[in-house]
Structure 1
Amino acid sequence: MTDTVQVVVIGGGQAGLAAGYHLRRQGLDFVILDADPAPGGSWQHMWDSLHLFSPAEHSSLPGRLMPTQPGETYPGAGHVVDYLADYEKRYDLPVQHGTRVEAVRRDGDWLLVEADVGAWRAWAVISATGSWSRPFLPAVPGRSSFTGRQLHTVNYRSPADFAGQRVVVVGGGNSGAQIAADLALNGQVDVTWVTQRPPRFLPDDIDGRALFDVATARRRALDAGRSDTGGVASLGDIVAVPPLRAARDGGLLHPKPMFAQLTADGVRWADGSHAAADAVIWCTGFRPVLSHLAPLNLRGPRGHIATDGTRALGEPRLHLLGYGDWTGPASATLIGVGRTARDGVREIAGLLT
């Protein structure tokens, strides 16, 4: 059986919900298809100690301020899950959880969205699948010979899982720094933190709101033909949230350069030095989840789909939302996705009329 709607949104996390809010305001007929069985997007899969970079009032989706979390300046991941679940219910968004989209195809004047439980024809599609389900692991010599445990950011939960162990954390971004700090502050884990280049901490007073403003200013400068301000990357790579500051200022973090290879029982650097390890946690980022769009044949040589704003250049009925700066300034953040969702939905409404 194939249903027909004006718009199909693929993904029910923060980007998909922001799109749903604006689609509702435009009076369009739509459905949101989400692979997760419960609300909350990727936040429901985060590690236990994760907190936002910004206070609740600066971490909200359109139309509904995130309430503060008692006793916390920066809300935890569980609080975000509750907020997203409430947001979905408050605006009566038609989310079908447990529905995994497998392909989007052209079907004459329609786009055909095929999922594991059925199919939908739509005049327009918004893809908002993010990147959490596509972790990236670098090709490091010896990775297959290491006899200890290897896991990615997506698999990390708490230091209790590594008590009494020697753990190598790989990655100089926010995830690597926060997980290294989480383990180091526990006091029962021997942590070695390795990064591709020396870690660059942003000033301690910089949080997510300031980062959003910087990213927006960069995009406006580029759109106006002015010189590149460098954006967030010009400030640093790591937001110094309170637990990270505590580990850093307490002398618990000693970053080392990237090792040359894994051995059976640890890691070895180019100078021959060696560190034993029971586990390696790869905090090495993600790639956008775009395989469901493969039948449209839109991806360029670097894997991205060329866009003008959120609209795919090769298929004007397709919009991509929440994948990062290439689909809107700070669009992979709670506070940043609302603006690009609004603009993309307005463009879709114009197309439909």
Structure 2
Amino acid sequence: MTCSTGVVVIGGGQAGLAAGYHLRRLGIEHVVLDAQVAPGGAWQHTWDSLHLFSPAAYSSLPGRLMPAQPGQTYPDAQHVVEYLADYEKRYELPVQRGVWVDAVHRDGPCLRVESDAGDWRARAVISATGTWTRPFIPAIPGRREFSGRQLHTVQYKSPVEFAGQRVLVVGGGNSGAQIAADLASVADLSWVTQRPPRYLADDIDGRVLFYAATVRRRALDAGRTDTGGVASLGDIVAVPPVRAARDAGLLPATPMFRRLTTTGVEWVDGTRAEADAIIWCTGFRPALAHFAALRLRGTRGHIATEGTRAVGEPRLHLLGYGDWTGPASATLIGVGRTSRDAAREIAGLLG
């Protein structure tokens, strides 16, 4: 049996495009299958006010600097979408859109990729599906009892629809802080966090975060003491809107409640608060259901990897899911290095 293509890349967002760039440079036949009908990956679905943590030049994929956005130090999400669309076109990457991958199976010398647009038999597969399609909400008692509106980060768009409402934003990371800042001046806001918010120093942005993540990975790979990486610096990048809301005293944090009630929430001491809406900024899980048949998933839904290569299946590489697939690999600048390494390793595999 012969394989119909060299490499199938699953996912056409930033990680998938970076993989396509390096595969193209190495002359490796490949196809990029993307469930989205338009370019831009998850960036086309974010909330309206979202901005990057870093200037454009430090938010670039391999081979093509992101141009600066006029009037903005930190580009917004739409600027990223336009950059990704231009990147895909500039390098003539073979992206097939509107293709949903259902499963990947071992098939002799090939990996068979099943989709709603047909099957591909590939000599290697790169998974770059990210996490946006798998929002996580914790199992808090009373969630089904609450009669108000509940939504996750992925469903939030703008503060306009919450004007004058009592809103709880749950989550002490960047999404929680940015959405809380977005709502602070228009809603009766309560920002709920598991622990007191930990802001990074105001002069720290994505450049420093990428460096910290890289230093940590190198230390771990060399068997040295864990430096703590980004987590040692804090949880929240003080981008200008967050900094302004914080400095104006609009972002006091409340400890986590113990349960939801019909009309709001209740804390351990019995104190209650009413709410019209709860926005869960509680993170994501990797979108890896298409690999169920390979039986590779371990703790927390992760697949064990050495670099980007799956330990249990050497023909499979994973890009862009977080530090377990490379330092800062879920960022625009961070995925470049790991996609290069994956492409080179696949080139060696294919001979």
Q: Same fold (TM over 0.5)?
A: yes
Question: In 2, are the aligned partners of 1:150 and 1:279 still within 8 Å (CA)?
Answer: yes
- Residue 324 of structure 1 is matched in structure 2 by 322
Question: In 2, are the aligned partners of 1:60 and 1:66 still within 8 Å (CA)?
Answer: yes
1:274 is aligned, of 272, 275, 288, to 272
- Residue 113 of structure 1 is matched in structure 2 by 113
Alpha-carbon shift at residue 91 of structure 1 (Å) = 0.2
Distance 1:87 1:18 in 2: 9
TM-score, normalised on structure 2?
0.99
Output aligned runs, 1:104-143, within 5 Å. Answer: 104-143=104-143
Question: In 2, are the aligned partners of 1:6 and 1:30 still within 8 Å (CA)?
Answer: yes
Output aligned runs, 1:109-188, within 5 Å. Answer: 109-184=109-184, 187-188=185-186
Alpha-carbon shift at residue 339 of structure 1 (Å) = 0.1
Q: Which runs of 5+ in 2 are unaligned?
A: none
Distance 1:335 1:95 in 2: 21
Output aligned runs, 1:205-244, within 5 Å. Answer: 205-244=203-242
Quote the sequence identity (%): 76
Alpha-carbon shift at residue 171 of structure 1 (Å) = 0.2
Describe the SS at the equivalent of 1:338: helix
- Residue 21 of structure 2 is matched in structure 1 by 21
Q: Which runs of 4+ in 1 moved over 2 A?
A: none
- Residue 46 of structure 2 is matched in structure 1 by 46
Describe the SS at the equivalent of 1:302: helix
Question: In 2, are the aligned partners of 1:169 and 1:283 still within 8 Å (CA)?
Answer: yes
Alpha-carbon shift at residue 302 of structure 1 (Å) = 3.0
Distance 2:300 2:39 in 1: 32
Alpha-carbon shift at residue 3 of structure 1 (Å) = 8.2
Distance 2:265 2:180 in 1: 17
Distance 1:40 1:98 in 2: 13
- Residue 65 of structure 2 is matched in structure 1 by 65
- Residue 286 of structure 1 is matched in structure 2 by 284
Distance 1:51 1:320 in 2: 26
Output aligned runs, 1:83-122, within 5 Å. Answer: 83-122=83-122
Distance 1:248 1:50 in 2: 17
Distance 2:249 2:76 in 1: 25
Alpha-carbon shift at residue 188 of structure 1 (Å) = 2.2
**What amino acid sits opposite 1:290 in the alignment?**
L
Alpha-carbon shift at residue 117 of structure 1 (Å) = 1.1
Q: Which runs of 5+ in 1 are unaligned?
A: none
**What amino acid sits opposite 2:267 in the alignment?**
W
Alpha-carbon shift at residue 301 of structure 1 (Å) = 3.6
Alpha-carbon shift at residue 112 of structure 1 (Å) = 0.2
Distance 1:100 1:92 in 2: 21
**What amino acid sits opposite 1:293 in the alignment?**
F
Question: In 2, are the aligned partners of 1:266 and 1:275 still within 8 Å (CA)?
Answer: yes
Alpha-carbon shift at residue 225 of structure 1 (Å) = 1.0
Distance 1:32 1:3 in 2: 16
**What amino acid sits opposite 1:72 in the alignment?**
Q
Distance 1:300 1:141 in 2: 27
**What amino acid sits opposite 1:319 in the alignment?**
H
**What amino acid sits opposite 2:264 in the alignment?**
G
Distance 2:349 2:325 in 1: 19
Distance 1:204 1:229 in 2: 21
Q: Over the residues paired in the alignment, what is the CA RMSD in angstroms?
A: 0.9
**What amino acid sits opposite 1:139 in the alignment?**
A
Distance 1:325 1:174 in 2: 17
Aligned length: 350
Distance 2:178 2:299 in 1: 33
Question: In 2, are the aligned partners of 1:3 and 1:119 still within 8 Å (CA)?
Answer: no
Describe the SS at the equivalent of 2:142: coil
Question: In 1, are the aligned partners of 2:3 and 2:110 still within 8 Å (CA)?
Answer: no
